[in-house]
Structure 1
Amino acid sequence: MTYRASAVVIDNGSYTTKAGFASDNLPSLVFNSNYIYDESSQKVIVGDDEMDKYSQNEVSTLLDNGLIYNFDNIVHNWQYVYDNIDNHNGIDSKEFPLVMTEQSWNTMKNKTKTCQIVFEQLEVPLFSLVKNPISQLYRCGKSTGLVIDIGAAVTSVTPIFDGIIQNKCSYHSKFAGDFLNLHVKHYLEGKVTSIDELLPSTFRSSSTTASFKQYYMSTHVLQEFKNLSINYHVSNFQLYDHKYIDVSDQRNFLENLFDPTANKLPNVTIPEPTIDKPSSHGLTNLVFLAIKNLEASLLPNNDSNNVNGVTASSHNRFARFMEIFKQLLSNVLITGGVSLCNGLSDHVINDLKSLTQKYFPNYPFSYNVQLIRPSNSSDTAEIWDKQFGSWLGACNLASMLNDNDENSGSAKIALDNWFITKADYEELGEDIITEKFK
């Protein structure tokens, strides 16, 4: 069975939500994932332009640690998509399959709650949850690789082998784009008399809430300055009142991703990294912990009962370990909005080569380390792939539903393995969710 209607694809990120039809080349909607509740009208306000009109109200978040936690209001985010997806015209959610992305550490409780909302409130006919790193790797035409995703709120390192995430060797931390914003803000505070000078005059009044100022500062001022300073090394930065401030003494803010404890922040305590807490480490160590633990899980134990010290089984396992590692390290995918910063990918690859030479001297892995990119991707398209990789990868999967080639069986494969119908949900409930969305 194939579907004529193109699926709606929604990628809820901590910074922005990307949404559109699976048949589109790029998301038709990219808007901030935060929202405002206006008490006077008792309305939830979603969308950048609309939120700017309610600066006297508090700004609230929907995600924490990359996961949805505010299920009371996430439906407004999704409804905004359906109301605006077709060139800001609405569509009926009952008529279109829906695909959403999720982090690999998402909980079954969250998956169940998500299904409850999309089937019972939005009443979608067909639904799937796609793990971010798999969708990104899938878009590159690979089933095995090391996915390093550096977004706004979370940095994650995910080894994937034959389309299966190696969960015990996957790690994530909060040392990502928002952490860089803290350092950028601290730097800019030393350049002005009041931090409000960085905002448009409209939002400097006492009636503007602190949370709105923080929201606007992060999504506009800090984001703009971070992009300019890292990619273009500007000497002067223009404020909204047309004044310029001298920023020629700025340092490389990216270094904080690799060593979060290197530069202190006032009123912010950064824990010293420890082996038992991977989330306390910077990017380089996070990658090292992933490949070191992968080695521990894949390398065979010596068989003391064998005269030669190595059984045929362990020899085969060692050969398999070598093969997997070579595939992983020759397929390194560095993605996420922060990965667009100049020099970041080169830094990660050089660190990976150094790590393998130092800690895996018996294996020639350092010669295999290389970046991958989506097939047939130009330099311009690579920017979109890094920024919208999860959404684009999910679109590839969702498009299988529209495959009319009976010989390929793509639609049937997708339906059997990755999608839940509304009828199945109503009949089987949580059992079908556990089966399909492991």
Structure 2
Amino acid sequence: MAYTAPAVVIDNGSYTTKAGFASEDLPSLVFNSNYILNPETKQVIIGDEEMNSNAQYPVSTLLEDGVIYNFENIVHNWRYVYDNIDNHNSINSKDYPLMMTEQSWNPMKNKVKTCQLVFEEFEVPIFSLVKNPISQLYRSGRSTGLVVDIGSSVTSVTPILDGVIQNKSTFHTRFAGDFLNLHVLNYLQSKVQSVDDLLPNSYRSNSSSDSFKAYYMSTNILQEFKNLSSNYQISNFEIYDHKFLNVNDQHNSYLDNLFNPLAHPIPNFNLPEPPSLEKPHTQGLNTLFYIVLKSLEASLLPNSNEGPSQNRFAKFMEVFKNIISNVLITGGTSLAGELPDLIINNLKIITQQNFPNYAFHYNVSQIRSSLDNSETWDKQFGSWLGACNLACMLNDNKDNSNSAKIALDNWFITKADYEELGEDLIVEKFK
């Protein structure tokens, strides 16, 4: 059965939430994923403009380590979507299919809680959770590759083989855009007398909460500086009150901290945990690449009793080649001008140094869009766009097409099936 109403697609990121109808080319809503709670009225305040008008209250988060932890208040984020998705007009959640994205390490208890909320509180007719790396790679037209997703709070490296995430070889780290912000803030602080000098006058007083100041600094000043310095040679950076900072001595070395978190230590700041190979989340991107590829080698390489020694590597080499020669670099932080080239160059060095038996057979190469503008959108909205492609299959009513049935059988749960089968169905469909 094909659906006539387009699906609503929501991609909850740590930095921004992207939402819109699956039939749209770009999300109609892009807003900060944080929220403010008015302690007097208990109102949950969502949306950039609304939050900027309530600077006196603390800013709180909804996600931790890339996954939702605050289910009590995530419903306000989703309600904001339904209230504003149609050119800032509301729609009834009962009338539209819903697809959401999730990280590949999202625990099953979160999936169950998400389904409970969307079916019981929002009463959606049909629902799906799709993993970010799958939707991103699907968007690129590939089924095999290495997805490098660098967002705000998390950097993940995910090998995918024939549309299946290799979970034992998938790892992530918290050294991402927010960590780079610390280095940018440290640099800009050296240019002013007080960190409040970087803020608009209206937010400098004690009437603005410290968490709001940090939120505003991160989402406006630091983000703007990263975007400018990564893509242009700038000598002066304009802050508020028509003041300029001399940034002639700035360079993109702060990007090095993604690859090696100890490259440029910040004064009076210590990493939460010392780097350890046994704890991939404590590592920078270079070591994470090594851990992922070494784990992939261990899981895919046949053992010595599986045939003649000269053929032992043949199938594995082909798989390894297909994965490493299709590197998809995505996520908002990956828009930094030279970062994709740094990633590819570092991956080449790592494979040549650590996998010499087969690394010389191929080149590490990046999946690129044929259109520059499209590539920018794919990096920023790739997970949302890929989810839209999958969700649109529900609306395929062409003769001799079974796309809607495929989508229903593989990715979606109906409200009726949820009410009949409950958690067992969720575990089976969204494992």
TM-score bin, normalised by smaller chain: over 0.9
Q: Is the 8 A contact 2:321 2:362 kept in 1?
A: no
Structure 1 residues 33-432: aligned runs within 5 Å: 33-252=33-252, 253-270=254-271, 271-303=273-305, 311-312=307-308, 318-365=313-360, 367-374=362-369, 377-432=370-425
TM-score, L = length of structure 2: 0.97
| Number of residue-to-residue matches in the alignment | 429
Task: State the AA in 2 paired with 1:114.
Answer: T
Secondary structure, counterpart of 1:100 in structure 2? strand
Secondary structure, counterpart of 1:389 in structure 2? helix
How far did 1:364 drift? 4.1
How far did 1:407 drift? 2.1
Taking the aligned partners of 2:220 and 2:109, their CA distance within structure 1 comes to 34
Most deviating of 28-37 and 255-264: 255-264
Secondary structure, counterpart of 1:187 in structure 2? helix
Taking the aligned partners of 1:213 and 1:136, their CA distance within structure 2 comes to 33
Taking the aligned partners of 1:17 and 1:63, their CA distance within structure 2 comes to 11
How far did 1:273 drift? 2.3
How far did 1:258 drift? 1.0
Taking the aligned partners of 1:58 and 1:316, their CA distance within structure 2 comes to 62
The aligned counterpart of 1:28 is 28
Task: State the AA in 2 paired with 1:430.
Answer: E
RMSD of the TM alignment (CA)? 1.4
How far did 1:297 drift? 1.2
Secondary structure, counterpart of 1:73 in structure 2? helix
Deviation per CA, 1:279-325, whole angstroms, max 9, x where unpaired?
1211122112111110111112223xxxxxx625x766632211111
Q: Is the 8 A contact 1:357 1:365 kept in 2?
A: yes
Secondary structure, counterpart of 1:80 in structure 2? helix
Most deviating of 74-83 and 353-362: 353-362
Secondary structure, counterpart of 1:234 in structure 2? coil
Q: Is the 8 A contact 1:325 1:365 kept in 2?
A: no
Deviation per CA, 1:35-75, whole angstroms, max 9, x where unpaired?
01112332111000011110011110000000000000000
Task: State the AA in 1 paired with 2:262.
Answer: T
Taking the aligned partners of 1:174 and 1:364, their CA distance within structure 2 comes to 28
How far did 1:366 drift? 6.2
Q: Is the 8 A contact 1:180 1:257 kept in 2?
A: yes
Task: State the AA in 2 paired with 1:141.
Answer: G
Taking the aligned partners of 2:99 and 2:390, their CA distance within structure 1 comes to 9
Taking the aligned partners of 2:152 and 2:283, their CA distance within structure 1 comes to 17
Q: Is the 8 A contact 1:143 1:160 kept in 2?
A: yes
How far did 1:7 drift? 0.1
Q: Is the 8 A contact 1:261 1:272 kept in 2?
A: no
TM-score, L = length of structure 1: 0.95
Secondary structure, counterpart of 2:160 in structure 1? strand
Secondary structure, counterpart of 1:368 in structure 2? coil
Deviation per CA, 1:302-349, whole angstroms, max 9, x where unpaired?
23xxxxxx625x766632211111110121100011111111111111
Taking the aligned partners of 1:409 and 1:216, their CA distance within structure 2 comes to 48
The aligned counterpart of 1:307 is none
Q: Is the 8 A contact 2:304 2:312 kept in 1?
A: no
How far did 1:353 drift? 1.4
Gaps of 5+ in 2: none
Taking the aligned partners of 2:83 and 2:312, their CA distance within structure 1 comes to 53
How far did 1:355 drift? 1.7
Deviation per CA, 1:149-189, whole angstroms, max 9, x where unpaired?
00011000000001111111111001100000001111111
Alpha carbons of structure 1 residues 229 and 393: separation in structure 2 relative to 1, 3 Å: same
Q: Is the 8 A contact 1:132 1:390 kept in 2?
A: yes
Secondary structure, counterpart of 2:105 in structure 1? coil
Task: State the AA in 2 paired with 1:297.
Answer: S
Taking the aligned partners of 2:158 and 2:268, their CA distance within structure 1 comes to 32
Taking the aligned partners of 2:352 and 2:221, their CA distance within structure 1 comes to 41
How far did 1:133 drift? 0.2
